[in-house]
Amino acid sequence: MDEELRSLTDRLGGEAGDTEEFHRLLTTEDDEELAAVLVERERPLWAREVAAFRLGCGGDPRAFEALVLLLNHRDPERCVSAAHALRLLGDPRTPRAAAALATNSLRTAYALHPVRLLTALRAPESVPALVSTLRRLLAPDEAHWRVALACVEGLGSLGDGRARPVLEAALPHPRLGDAAAHALSRLPADRGDPRT
């Protein structure tokens, strides 16, 4: 059992009540049984999460929609598991979905893991989404500064020069300034500046 599946098993064991169904969903090799859990009515959330996680890690695109919903869940641990499965799934829709979640101003409280997933994916959608999200989170008293910090760190990791203006705007921010300076140091030289 890999580390992510072990973490999911430990976390959901209590929620599932350590039932026979829980253990069956963790061990079955029948993808059709897992896929059925995603569409059957009145299935508990833990069962849908186990099924989506296992299908996603196995590359089955039927897990995509359930994993995207879990990526934006209020429970951060569910988001972590969903992001892991989405990376392994490799569905071409994932970057666009993660960007939509990260840039949704009504869901900023739950945007941390979509932001981190966008960084990991290094997709064409990643930099524009992180720039857009960070730009609206630069107020000094911004409640969601951890999301802003993840954007700063992600933009530094991606090393794309398009991030320079928003990272420079983040420099005066008391909680973002050091990370923004580090991120800027990882960008390619600005050829428009004669000093570089």
- 37 vs 28: CA distance, rounded Å: 12
Residue-level pLDDT at 88: 96
Residue count of the chain, please give it.
Answer: 196
Residue-level pLDDT at 1: 55
Here the tokens at position 35 are 């896929």
Triad 94, 55, 122: Cα angle to 5°: 25
For the CA atoms of 28, 30, 31, 36, the dihedral, rounded to the nearest 10 degrees, stands at -90
- 145 vs 41: CA distance, rounded Å: 38
Residue-level pLDDT at 190: 73
Residue-level pLDDT at 141: 85
Residue-level pLDDT at 194: 42
Q: How far is CA 181 from CA 36, 80, 99, 171, 174, in A?
A: 49, 27, 24, 7, 12
The H-or-E segment that residue 134 falls in is helix 126-135
Q: From the first residue on, what is the mean pLDDT of each consecutive set of 10 residues in the chain (196 residues)? A: 86 88 94 96 94 97 97 94 96 98 95 97 98 94 94 98 97 96 93 46
pLDDT digits (tens, 9 = 90+) for 145-176: 999 999 999 999 999 999 999 999 999 999 99
First to last CA, the chain: 50
Residue-level pLDDT at 196: 38
Residue-level pLDDT at 100: 97
- Record the pTM: 0.91
